[in-house]
């Protein structure tokens, strides 16, 4: 079989793509692309590469995971090199681990090309460090997508006093905020929600936990967004400073 890559395309800004990702894309015969990948990234693919869009975006129709793996294996068996291109990092809520397992089970060696994950880049885009010795000794990345038996243990997470960075949490933001408040997290905990981070259409709101859901609704923020909960969110840069930087 030919070569296979799992590539992280970063959080959105094409300039945050790694050099290793650029080199891999330039070699691939076939590129399977997720919806959250900035289309500008495809400028680094070969002109004759086959580009296949396979979805994978919360709340939208997606190509089933087995079908994606089957496509990759079919192309590899035909002697073509395949790049699987994902938003952010392929091993952070990107199902890259599952794809690696499936390909390895078929005897395929997979090269992992890490990308900058939105959980770090989105807060940084508005001046929030996810760790800071005066505010948080660590950071926890968690999906807000689960419910029922797949629900995160919000009381345990609240007790850590670490920064919480929530992926795919916008549809259940009210439930998440309520769970954290019930767990004893202070209603005055600083929070931020950042939509389309690092891209020209980036927007965000900052609020304390008790007001977060209403502020997000008032601003009309949606997916894709990252939510940051913890003292570090108080370090967000003023909006006018961000606007000045964006226009410079």
Closest among 191, 232, 239, 241 to 215, alpha carbons compared: 191
Catalytic residue selected from 72, 162, 168, 185: 168
**Rounded distance between C-alpha atoms, residue 203 and residue 84, angstroms:** 28
Catalytic residue selected from 56, 86, 89, 185: 56
Alpha-carbon distances of 83 from 35, 69, 121, 187, 189, rounded to whole Å: 15, 12, 23, 45, 41
The question of whether 218 is a catalytic residue gets the answer no
**Rounded distance between C-alpha atoms, residue 221 and residue 204, angstroms:** 8
The question of whether 168 is a catalytic residue gets the answer yes
Strand-strand pairing, 4-8 and 190-195: unpaired
Residues linked to residue 112 through DSSP beta bridges, in sequence order: 6
The question of whether 34 is a catalytic residue gets the answer yes
Catalytic residue selected from 13, 29, 34, 89: 34
Quote the tokens at residue 248: 């410079």
Do 225 and 203 form a contact (C-beta atoms < 8 A)?
A: no
Catalytically active residues, by annotation: 34, 56, 168
């Amino acid at each position: 079989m030919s070569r296979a890559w799992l590539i992280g395309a970063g959080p959105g800004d094409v300039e945050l793509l790694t050099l290793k990702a650029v080199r891999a894309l330039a070699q691939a015969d076939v590129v399977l692309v997720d919806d959250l990948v900035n289309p500008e990234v495809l400028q680094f693919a070969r002109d004759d590469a086959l580009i296949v869009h396979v979805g994978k975006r919360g709340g939208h129709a997606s190509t089933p995971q087995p079908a994606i793996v089957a496509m990759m294996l079919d192309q590899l068996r035909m002697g073509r090199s395949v790049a699987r291109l994902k938003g952010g990092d392929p091993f952070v809520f990107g199902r890259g681990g599952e794809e690696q397992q499936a390909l390895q089970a078929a005897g395929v060696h997979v090269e992992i090309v890490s990308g900058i994950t939105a959980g770090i880049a989105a807060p940084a885009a508005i001046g929030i460090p996810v760790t800071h010795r005066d505010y948080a000794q660590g950071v926890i990345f968690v999906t807000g997508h689960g419910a029922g038996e797949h629900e995160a243990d919000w009381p345990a997470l609240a007790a850590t006093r670490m920064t919480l960075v929530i992926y795919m949490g916008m549809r259940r933001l009210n439930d998440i905020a309520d769970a954290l408040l019930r767990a004893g997290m202070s209603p005055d905990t600083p929070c931020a929600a950042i939509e389309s981070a690092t891209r020209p259409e980036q927007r965000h709101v900052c609020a304390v936990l008790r007001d977060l859901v209403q502020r997000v609704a008032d601003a009309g923020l949606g997916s894709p967004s990252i939510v940051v909960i913890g003292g570090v969110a108080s370090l967000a840069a003023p909006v006018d400073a961000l606007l000045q930087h964006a226009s410079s």
